[in-house]
Structure 1
């Protein structure tokens, strides 16, 4: 009996994979209605029950939706549906701050290269104001942390990529506590200001390599400070 159940499971997973591949290849477009259960069963040479299970998997993955009385449709892409599982994964990893800082370093390395090329004069002005507030808030860790977050979000906005902006916002949520802890160290506060000043100067003159080097140096310094704080 167990072998029969395992075989059935293997079949619906295989069918789900095949339907997903066809969607990814563009054979079925977002908003397009899929064939009926009977037609899909014939197409994949399986029973309707297997197709139904496969569709349940794909509904859970956010690839398709069942409109009762109307049929099965490929779900239209939305940024929210793309970011939701990433948000969940980041929150689940919230206890591994070093890993999150490392992901931030990888992400921002690409962001700053684009930001240095695409930044506008008003972007530089806002970054400069945020940096000034960061320096003025040296004795207020919470305010300094907010300035740091705003600086990096603004930087991602300069790159002109909405997905990158949202990823960075999500990434900052579980890191707030860690950064507040690090900012209790006066030496780290001073180094944070120095590195952000160097980062700003690189962006202002549109030196992408220098900007990338400074953002990575800052994130590595944060990882080192976190390790030493334990």
Structure 2
């Protein structure tokens, strides 16, 4: 209910008694759930007042790698990725060197064997191909922040060869556009790729946390 937005940030949760009635469970189960949510930073308790929903604190991103708790955070993070990485793919198509292309080719050749690391290395190599040091550091930051969620995601998609194949083909199509110096196409291919990964990652969280 928190994840879906039925309970909004800053809103007070129903009382323990009301939650017991809503979910048909005892007080200890509700208290344990609140303690768990508090530990994850999802809620906070005001003594004598009740339990409130925490807002998403973006400042925490700069100190802790992110284990994505819900679909809203994924959606907002992927909005950032689409703005940033679509432009990166576009710039890489304009600025890439032959050495950059060789590095990306090597990563693509080995991507089926390396899972998360291959994904990380590919996006980092595309960022490097822009020649912009600030962009390179931003991509490293985002990838580090998402590491836990993306490792879990790559473990999840291994059970679906079709998804693995689709992602591999998307990576190759981004590379081809960069290689052929087609900035507009590289940008569009990156957006399509991130749209697909966002959808699959959200689905994996639903299945992991029914």
Q: TM-score with structure 2 length normalisation?
A: 0.61
Distance 1:115 1:205, change over 3 A: same
* Secondary structure, counterpart of 2:146 in structure 1: helix
**Aligned twin of 2:84:** 107
> Does the 8 A contact of 1:90 with 1:171 survive in 2?
no
- Pairwise CA distance, 1:144: 1.6
Q: Does 1:174 pair with 2:145? A: yes
Flag the structure with more relative contact order, 1 or 2, with Cα contacts below 8 A and sequence separation at least 6: 2
Match of 1:190 among 139, 145, 165: 165
Match of 1:126 among 82, 90, 103: 103
Match of 1:212 among 182, 187, 191: 187
- Pairwise CA distance, 1:173: 1.4
- Pairwise CA distance, 1:226: 1.9
Bigger drift between 90-99 and 182-191 goes to 90-99
CA distance in 1 between counterparts of 2:66 and 2:119 reads 24
**Aligned twin of 1:116:** 93
When the two chains are superposed, the root-mean-square deviation of aligned CA atoms in Å is 2.1
> Does the 8 A contact of 2:170 with 2:193 survive in 1?
yes
Structure 2: gaps spanning 5 or more residues: 1-58
Structure 1: gaps spanning 5 or more residues: 1-84, 138-142
> Does the 8 A contact of 1:118 with 1:158 survive in 2?
yes
**Aligned twin of 2:201:** 226
CA distances 1:174-223 after superposition (whole Å, capped 9, x unpaired): 21222223222223211110100111111110111111111111111111
User: May I ask how many residue pairs the two structures share in their alignment?
Assistant: 140
Match of 1:151 among 110, 122, 125: 122
Greater per-residue helix proportion: 1
CA distances 1:44-101 after superposition (whole Å, capped 9, x unpaired): xxxxxxxxxxxxxxxxxxxxxxxxxxxxxxxxxxxxxxxxx79528857954233222
